[in-house]
Amino acid sequence: MSSLFLSLLLVLLLFSHSSDSRSVADVLDLSGADAVVDLNRTTFDDFLKKSPAGFAIVEFFAHWCPACRNYKPHYEKVARLFNGPHAVHPGLIVMTRVDCADKMNTDLCNRFSVSHYPMLLWGPPIKFAAGRWDPKKQNNEFQPIEDGRTAERLLNWINKRIGRQLI
Ligand SMILES: *[C@@H]1O[C@H](CO)[C@@H](O)[C@H](O)[C@H]1NC(C)=O
């Protein structure tokens, strides 16, 4: 084994044993695997119906959209707090995304009245499954996340929404 490999292994081991003592900066700077769950027409309802998480965030985006590309690392940073094996708050919020530029997802994105990219919607996973959202109708099941433009702002929004300081 190369020494580079061993160093990487050591870093991984250190991280896996230090989850309780991580600072905000550590957590937000962790890079690595994609923590966001990619959903599409075929997987969306089923995945969210089965999700044990209390809340879901769906990012409706378009892969060609420059604002979406800029936003990606921010959304990823926050997703790493909640999704995946190293989540600091596992089971609380599941963070997902749907590529609305993919034609197969057009109906799905229309169901949630996607009007711009990226658009973030908050709600219980079970309500997203087979659900729909129309901003013109009174509906308190879903809430658009108006200000999640950076990782910090998104975290602030989440902290306020659930009424406690997660990090
Ligand atoms: C939808 O996503 C799943 C899981 O990522 C993938 O296996 C599947 O091929 C996708 N569906 C289509 C029609 O591309």
User: What DSSP assignment string belongs to the chain?
Assistant: --HHHHHHHHHHHHHHT-GGG--HHHHHH---S--SEEE-TTTHHHHHHH---SEEEEEEE-TT-HHHHHHHHHHHHHHHHHSSTT-SSTTTEEEEEEETTSGGGHHHHHHTT--SSSEEEEE-HHHHTT----TTS---S-EE-S--SSHHHHHHHHHHHHTS---
Report pLDDT for 31: 52
The verdict on the CB of residue 46 being under 6 Å from ligand 1 is no
Taking the centre of ligand 1 as the mean of its atom positions, its distance from the CA of residue 41, in whole angstroms, is: 8
Q: Is the CB of 102 under 6 A from ligand 1?
A: no
Domain ranges of the chain: 32-162
Q: Is 43 in the pocket of ligand 1 (CB under 6 A)?
A: yes
pLDDT tens-digit profile of 109-143? 999 999 999 999 999 999 999 899 999 887 779 99
What is the mean predicted confidence (pLDDT) over 156-165? 91
Q: Which atom of ligand 1 is nearest to the CA of 104?
A: 13
Report the chain's mean pLDDT, rounded to a whole number.
85
Residue 39 CA, closest ligand 1 atom number: 2
What is the per-residue pLDDT for 32? 54
Choice among 17-26, 43-52, 119-128 with the minimum mean pLDDT = 17-26
Atom of ligand 1 nearest to the CA of 38: 5
Q: Which residues are catalytic?
A: 65, 68
**pTM of the entire predicted model:** 0.81
CATH level 3 topology of 32-162: Glutaredoxin (3.40.30)
